[in-house]
Amino acid sequence: MPSMPSLPRAGTPRRDAAVPRVPVPVARAVVDCGVYIDGERLPGRFSYVEAIEEVRRRGEGYVWVGMLDPDQHQMDEVARVFGLHPLTVEDTLVTHTRPKVDRFDDALFLILKTVNYVGHDRTDPMARLIETGEVMVLVGPDHVITVRHGEHGSLRRVRRNLESNPGLLRLGPSAVMHAVADHVVDTYVAVSDLLEDDIDRVEEDVFRARARTQVDEIYQIKRDVVELRRGIHPLSHALKRLTCDFDDIVPSEIRRYFSDVMDHQAMVADHVETYNDVLSSLIDAAVAKIGMQQNEDMRKMSAIIGLVAVPTMIAGIYGMNFDNMPELHWSYAYYAVLAVMLLACLGLFITFRRIKWL
């Protein structure tokens, strides 16, 4: 008789039933939202929907929405309200993207790599010195949307500085893009200076006499310099485009500001390239120094073995069980053998010290 299928017990959820996912409201990802008219922020609090409706009702000004680690649903809702291109939504959700700038009709999309100096951890020699993140800036005719990934890279100070300078805010949404890019590049400068201090310290350790060289620390700094280089070098092409192209979107005054940012970026890029070359040279010097230290250790070990081998050989000879050994029945033989051992070891010690093996 065929067996009947067992029924699930009451209160037991079915395994094949899909668990519905409750979408997280967009407001959870919005850090700040402001409406700017003629360079001044309107008082009061606005949601991103209320803000863009206010701007479009007035027919002037723009909205600046700051977001932190949004998910797919949240970005889809923002894209629906602001009319964003689907490719920009896709790029805002993908981290570890190379810096770039794209144009979609009358909108610009800029990706920046953010860095934060953590510092050297003596307890973990392979810990990272810098943390990386991303900031995306979407600029349209009546809106600016900044999307940040990572715990660092807050744009609160950028917003505060811009709000204290209405003249820049009057230049339009592209002024916000410039301020964010300038802030990120200034962070590159600060992190580059801190890395230079670490490189100088490691260089002193490598060339300090009788100091043990830690190659893993040099590799650690070089790895972070390479990571910093990946964020800085591709940015030069994006800044060049913002300086020379998009004259119908970016005002000439903002393009001049971008030119200043590009100069700072080029300076930091040169520094990072120099750091990379210096670290490569330090690795070669450290490996050579380790080889010399190992050779010196081998010489010391050989000298010590030589000092021990002479009395061991003599003791081995007189430890043989022969009856006809001339010195066995001599009353001063024991002291004579000790004297020979001492003189032989002393002669070897002086010789090894003279040739710097000890």
Beta strand pairing call for 62-68 and 100-104: unpaired
Residues whose CB is less than 8 angstroms from the CB of residue 128 and which lie 6 or more positions away in sequence, other chains included: 118, 220, 223, 224
CB count, 10 Å around CB of 181?
A: 27
State how far the Cα of 291 lies from the Cα of 285, in Å rounded to an integer.
10
- Top CATH class, 26-290: alpha beta
Task: List the structure tokens of 283.
Answer: 């690795």
Q: Are 113 and 153 in contact (CB under 8 A)?
A: no
C-alpha distances (whole Å) from 189 to each of 160, 168, 195, 259 are 21, 23, 10, 16
State how far the Cα of 330 lies from the Cα of 353, in Å rounded to an integer.
35
pLDDT of 12 reads 47
pLDDT of 209 reads 65
Q: Provide the whole-model pTM.
A: 0.75
CB count, 10 Å around CB of 128?
A: 14
> What CATH homologous superfamily does 291-355 map to?
Magnesium transport protein CorA, transmembrane region (1.20.58.340)
pLDDT of 210 reads 65
**pLDDT means over runs of 10, the chain (358 residues):** 46 48 78 89 88 89 90 89 86 82 88 83 64 89 89 83 87 90 90 85 75 73 85 87 84 88 90 86 78 76 82 81 74 81 84 77
Where does CATH 3.30.460.20 sit in the chain? 26-290
Task: List the structure tokens of 6.
Answer: 């067992």
C-alpha distances (whole Å) from 91 to each of 96, 182, 236, 297 are 10, 21, 19, 56
344 membership: H or E segment, kind and range:
helix 333-354
pLDDT of 20 reads 54
Where does CATH 1.20.58.340 sit in the chain? 291-355
pLDDT of 221 reads 83
pLDDT of 154 reads 81
State how far the Cα of 335 lies from the Cα of 337, in Å rounded to an integer.
5
| 143-149, strands of its sheet edge to edge | 40-41, 30-37, 62-68, 143-149, 130-139, 107-117, 100-104
pLDDT of 1 reads 42
